[in-house]
Amino acid sequence: MVEVQDSSSDAVAATAVARPDSNPPRAANMDTYNFRLLTALLPKLPLIVRVAVMHVLRLSEQAKYLDLRSALVVAVLRSFMEPPPDRPRTSVSALQRLTLTDNGVRGRIWVSTYAAPPPPETGIRDALMQAVDDMRDRNLPEPLFKTPELVPVEAEWTGYRAGAAPGDPLPRKSARELYDSMMVECSQPTTVLYLHGGAYYLCDPSTHRPVNKKLAKLTGGRCYSVRYRLAPQHPFPAALLDALVSYFTLLYPPPDAFHEPVEPEHLVLAGDSAGGNLVLALLQLLLEFRRKGTTVQWFGEARDVPLPAGVTLNSPWTDITMSSPSWEGTASAPFDYLPKPEALARGKTRECEAWPASPPRKWLYVDDLLVTHPLSSVVMSRSWEGAPPVYMCTGWEILALEDKFLARRLHDEGVPVVFEEYEAMPHCFAMILDKTPNARRCFEGWAGFIRRTVEDAGSIRSAAVEVKAKTLEEVPLVFEELSDVTEEEMWGRVYDKAGFAKLGEAASARL
């Protein structure tokens, strides 16, 4: 989840802070980029000095847990994302253009782009739309929304390129040849289907190449990072359809695919933030197919719907309505940079061709009558029984309450869960504070879970730990103590926040 508040220079600076490991612009654009970055950071100098002095004197809460660089990164990033009331925020379209800028591929990474063609029949979309209808709340009016088109879905095959120097460009080869070169360096059969974060309207596989490169390196496998359609231009369930098509593409390759069929026991889903929500929505959809015995017509054949070997989630956003108490008020979260809805409401977003939507709606990602749908706000799912092992990490962030709720619920329903809470860390810290020991520990845990899932998923046992910020000491946690919120209480909050007060009262009445 990311929202930057103001000018293009501010957005450039926030992106530079938030994506420290991504490729900088090419030399021809570097002077302009550096000038805009400097222009945006100069007004932050008093903040930087204040945070630094408070940290050195050990007067801030953050100084007890974070190094100075990490404290500065969080503070500066927060200042870009929390809008002053008197300055309009950058339009949705402008922010999208910024985060969709691809600065190229260089260094120790293989990237091969493949566009999966839509199947000749509509079976996969029909199955999705049937599930959307079957799973919707019949107490709400029937939503009117556009069925997404079946379109080619691009993804980036990503692998680790051990022999390259940090600035080396990709060889001049075709996409298929690049894929073949990547496969030479894969030592394991592991395939990670990756769904990127960005609040469903920002970012791209190009912004998440560092993450995919690290996962590929640490697992010995490869990643398939999906360029799913973004809201608000393509609201729910367009992204979910693209994720489902990508899943089937891996299992049952189209005729022009580079890859051989991926065995389900070698396939792991992964995502961060909104991408974590999309991963969980895909998992819930697959579980629904299995509950109903659904088969899918795919390139002329009726295909079964197997489950992946495992699911991995980094700071997942599970409640689109943002109903948890941690989202309330305007005061900044002490260890997070995400802005709260009330703080954002003080400013105004510049209008553009993408937003406000027509017809108007409240939520960027989804129609108002579908925001509580379990394939949209996955916290509303009625059952996770039968799900494969799940890894989840979170920090001391705004999303921690809903993440802990989900971890406990999965555990209560018999799903093997490995849950890691990182002391004093912000949202998606492993990608923001990527040089810290905490980030390295997170990637080791994340990739280690993926390796174990592919090697022997049946050996995974539930475990919950808190990882201390300074020492990386692992303190055991008890699943039953992660959250004291019941399903009815959570559902009541979501209904209330969505504006369905009577349904919220009915949920509370069932307590």
Active site residues: 273
- Please give the Cα distance from 190 to 448 (Å, whole number): 12
H helix or E strand, kind and range, residue 272: strand 267-272
- Record the tokens describing residue 278, joined without a space: 């999309």
Strand pairing partners for 421?
394, 466
- Please give the Cα distance from 329 to 451 (Å, whole number): 41
**Cα angle 199, 201, 203; round to 5:** 85
The DSSP-derived string for 391-457 is EEEE-SSTTHHHHHHHHHHHHHTT--EEEEEETT--TTHHHHSTTSHHHHHHHHHHHHHHHHHHHHG
- Encoded amino acid at 427, one letter: H
Which residue matches tokens 């802005």?
339
Measure Cα distances from 72 to 81, 166, 230, 449, 488 in Å: 14, 26, 31, 31, 40
Cβ atoms < 10 Å from Cβ of 134: 10
- Please give the Cα distance from 187 to 306 (Å, whole number): 24
- Counting beta carbons within 10 angstroms of the beta carbon of residue 22, is it exposed (0 to 12), middle (13 to 18) or buried (19 or more)? middle
